[in-house]
Chains A and B, each alone.
Chain A
Amino acid sequence: MSEQEPERRELAEPDTPERAEHPTGGDYAPSVAARLALFQRAGGILTPLLTAVVAFFVGGLVVLVTTGKNPLRTYEAIFNGSGLNWLFPWVRGEERFLAGLNLQQTLLLTTALILTGLAVAFAFRCGLFNIGGQGQYLAGAIVAVWVGGALSGLPRVAHVVLAIVIGALAGAVLAGIAGLLKATVGAHEVITTIMLNWIVVWIGTYAFGLGGPLQNETLAVPISEDVAETAKLPVFWGDPLLQGLHVGLFVALAALVAFWIVLNRTTLGYEVRAVGFNPEAARYGGINVPRNYFLAMAISGLFAGLAGALDILGWQFRLSVSDVQVSALGFIGIAVALLGRNTAIGVGLSALLFGALLNGTSTRNLDPEVFPPELASNLTLIIQGLVVLFVGADVLVLYLWQLRRRLRGRSAVPPRAEAAT
């Protein structure tokens, strides 16, 4: 017992100077990056996969306990509801047609989730936690409604491109504000992005509310005018009138590639990652840390704004006050990025998983005999929550695992130190 006491002191000591080296504002970022480094060293593809499997397993137990229904059949129904059974060649006829419809909806969600996921992931790689994906998404959507509705004389290609670009820039500007505040006065990005979220929500509420500047003129309801036909994205799979899959999916896939290239093959990406791992070391190495904070946030916002613009021009075509207030795709992006370990391929896959989950648990896809509709939407939330929880929990497990190693490593040191004195 008495032998352990000096060990404990030894343990505490190295921590205190470390803390002192990171003065106010800076101490959050290294811990985020350290976490990330830990993820990538210790998990690879295995941990996120295990996380998802365990989350589904516990979700299945919840189904069993709360409803007494068979979780395997529930999951089968969710899988078919997501339309992923379309990929099986043996699914034919009417079933294949329905699967196609479902897959289109899943991929519409995936499109938005890839981009909101990248918005969180990119900032994460710079050691920043962008919780403003929701606001940036809405900023892109609101601006797309405006540009898509206002400039109706343009040729189609020009109109679509213009609306997308300005929408994405709106997201970038919004996130850029948070980045600028972080870079100049050290205002924490978690706080500023959350506050900016609300500013956008209320701008939208004002703009589309009765008497607002973007509220439609023909009806007395708080909904915007539809975007012009020339601003709508072409649908390449399914019925354009019944919300088929638009070409925005390819934009999202291209964004995944761009994310990977920028991070791994450019000076900017190198600097961003360096700042993410350790801002002090990066600064020592001659990297302009504030500049990278600003750029990383702006690029994050670009992704989220793009998501909002694509949703408006691809299938939604209009926004209502309620849409602005209940929309949550930006927040789901956080879970997507966490599960995807902030990598391009991870974000792509986890966006597909969350998209499939959201669409597969919609009540139209869950037969009431398999799962009661009143509970269906809660089931998604449960599984989603479990995924996030286990993502957090595996960090805990990894942390404990590392702590144990550190403890072992240290306990080996003191005897030698004692021998020296």
Chain B
Amino acid sequence: MLATLLALCALLVACGGEDEAAETAREGGGGEAVRVALVTDIGGLDDKSFNFLANQGLKRAREELGVEGRVLISRSPQDYVPNLSSAAQQGYDLVIAVGFLMSESVATVAPRFPDVDFAIVDFPQSGLKGKPKNVRGLLFKEQEAGYLAGYLAGLSVEDGATVSSVGGQKIPPVDHYIAGYQAGAKAANPSVKTLNGYSQDFVDQAKCKEVALTQISRGSKVVFQVAGGCGLGALDAAKQRDVWGIGVDADQSNLGEHILTSALKKVDVAVFEAIESVQGGTFQGGADSVFDVKSGGVGLGKISATVPQDVADEVEDVERQIADGEIANIPDAVK
């Protein structure tokens, strides 16, 4: 036993030498690249939702713009302030906070580092305490994507049928989606009934599955998940009971043929554009960027191949109308 331990230790030390050599080789690069730090909220990078997408945006910026990027994962609320401030202290040019949970921490940290640009996903700059001038909010009109998804759902079911939604928590970004979804379904077919429930969770798939199964047993023919990783359970329930499922945030059509479409919120695009603006010197704090159908920041993902072409065309037409402002005042609060 002892001999094995010693042998393994020797092995470990041997590897150490190689690693150091590799590092000195790597240090040759560098230059004046923009440095970007991305701070996730407690959902982590595998949430299949905005943390994941934000990281995709950062990855794209690394490849296409040549920026230097680093991801800081928050595992508990205790990580928020140290993550944000250590990034700012280490001279990152742009620090991106993902999610409203970090709003207070951004409001605390940003004023201490006036030379660093900050961006926060899903929270308006004007809502931050002290309204720091070096922060830009990245907001989305989720209700427009929800409206399109709801419209397609309304066209895909018979008269008088029920469509439903499973939210993670009752928070603004989630309710935007759901309100739009319900309005869209009613607009496509006024006889459609809607159901809505919250799982109170963004991670545990079992909870969303339970909510979805209840809705399906109450007659729902389309289940729209608005609950990040938890919502995958809702889509699983749809598959099991042979009804339609609608994905959220990222395109989830790869989950199977039961996916009608996905309501997209292109956090990756928002993050990429924020990084691009810092690199180009046009980043402006003290205001918000709003991403909508018109700017291509929200929209629909791949529509199922079994949907008739004329239905798909009709939805596309609605999308154009939203972009042109012909369809406005889509509700963003769930009644």
Listed in ascending order, the chain A residues whose CB lies under 8 Å from chain B are 57, 60-61, 64, 69-73, 101, 105, 108-109, 205, 209-210, 218-223, 226, 241-243, 315-318, 320-323, 325-329, 358, 362-364, 368-369, 373-374, 376-377, 380
Contacts and interface: CB of A to CB of B under 8 A. Distances in A.
Contacts of B19: 69-70, 73
Given A362-B83, A364-B72, 4 more contacts: A221-B171, A322-B41, A325-B200, A364-B86
Interface residues of B, number: 48
Given A223-B104, A241-B112, A101 B12 contact: no
Contacts of A105: 78, 82
A109 B104 contact: no
Nearest to B73: A363
Contacts of B73: 362-363, 373-374, 376-377
B285 interface: no
B283 interface: no
Contacts of B201: 325
Contacts of A226: 104
Interface string B105-146: 000110010000000000100010000000000000000000
Interface of B: 5, 8, 11-13, 15-16, 18-19, 23, 26, 41-42, 44-46, 70-73, 75-79, 81-83, 85-87, 100-101, 103-104, 108-109, 112, 123, 127, 169-172, 200-203
Contact of A210 (B11, B103, B170): B170
> Which residue of B18, B101, B202 has the most chain A CB atoms within 10 A of its CB atom?
B101
Contacts of A364: 72, 79, 82-83, 86-87
B108 A241 contact: yes
25 contacts: A69-B19, A70-B16, A101-B82, A105-B78, A210-B170, A221-B103, A221-B171, A222-B171, A223-B104, A242-B85, A243-B85, A322-B41, A322-B42, A322-B169, A323-B77, A325-B200, A326-B203, A362-B72, A362-B79, A363-B72, A364-B86, A364-B87, A373-B71, A374-B73, A377-B44
A109 B171 contact: no
Contact of B15 (A64, A322, A363): A64
B78 A72 contact: no
Contacts of A329: 76
Nearest to B71: A373
A221 B172 contact: yes
B75 A377 contact: yes
Top 3 closest A-B pairs, CB basis? A243-B81, A70-B15, A363-B73
A70 B9 CA distance: 11
Nearest to A75: B12
Contacts of B108: 241-242
Contacts of B71: 363, 368, 373
A373 B71 CA distance: 7
Nearest to A380: B75
A58 B310 CA distance: 60
B115 to A, nearest CB: 16
Given A323-B77, A373-B71, A71 B104 contact: no
A373 B101 contact: no
Contacts of A64: 11-12, 15
A72 B26 CA distance: 20
